[in-house]
Amino acid sequence: GGQYQMFPWAIPTGVQQFAEATHSVYYQQQATGGRPDMKDWIGGYVFSRRQDFEDFFRNLAVQYNTVDKQGNLLCPGDQVETCTYDPTIPGTADDPEAAFHSDPFGQFIGPDNRRWIWVYLQDANRWIAADRDRNVATWVMMYGYTSDVLYGEDDGTGGFSAELPLKYFLNYYQTNGN
């Protein structure tokens, strides 16, 4: 998560190498000293359509019978097709579903009661969701992007430098299996 002491073109190679190594079948074998659990550090869920992104969380709401503060089901009728739950809606103090809606950084409590973050990369046309406690490295990259680019806390390095690690994550994660 800190600054890299190397040439700018070499910054993403650490993410690349980690993603490639942890998603290799050889790395995951206990006999070779691998740690299969580390595979999930760089990981997450990638969607090319918003509908698929929303349906992923709607499925979780139906599966877990999630209720808001007032005891109402997030997805009444237990059907994904009729569910209107959308984690991208900004949460407000008077919103009974505030925990299940996004804060300014795209973070929210999912219907499975896990901590999630989401990002839409417009130029890649990809929706990315990461579980904060499972996809730790991805979450750090996504939080850096949302805080710098979307929330406006850019330190002067520009949005491209925050977006670049996410693009490398996408390329390597999709190439090496998810």
Q: What are the backbone angles phi and psi of residue 90, rounded to the nearest 5°?
A: -65, 135
Quote the tokens at residue 32.
Answer: 């070779």
Which is higher by pLDDT, 120 or 164?
120
pLDDT above 90: residue 109? yes
Read off the pLDDT of residues 67-95 as tens digits, 9 standing for 90 and up: 988 888 989 888 899 999 999 999 988 88
CA dist 13 and 171 (Å) reads 12
What pTM does this model have? 0.76
CB 1 within 8 A of CB 140: yes
> First vs last Cα of the chain: how many Å apart?
23
Alpha helix stretches (DSSP H) within the chain:
13-22, 50-64, 136-145, 159-175
Which is higher by pLDDT, 21 or 129?
129
Closest by CA position to 23, among listed 167, 176, 135: 176
Residue 148 DSSP label: I
pLDDT above 70: residue 115? yes
CA dist 112 and 134 (Å) reads 13
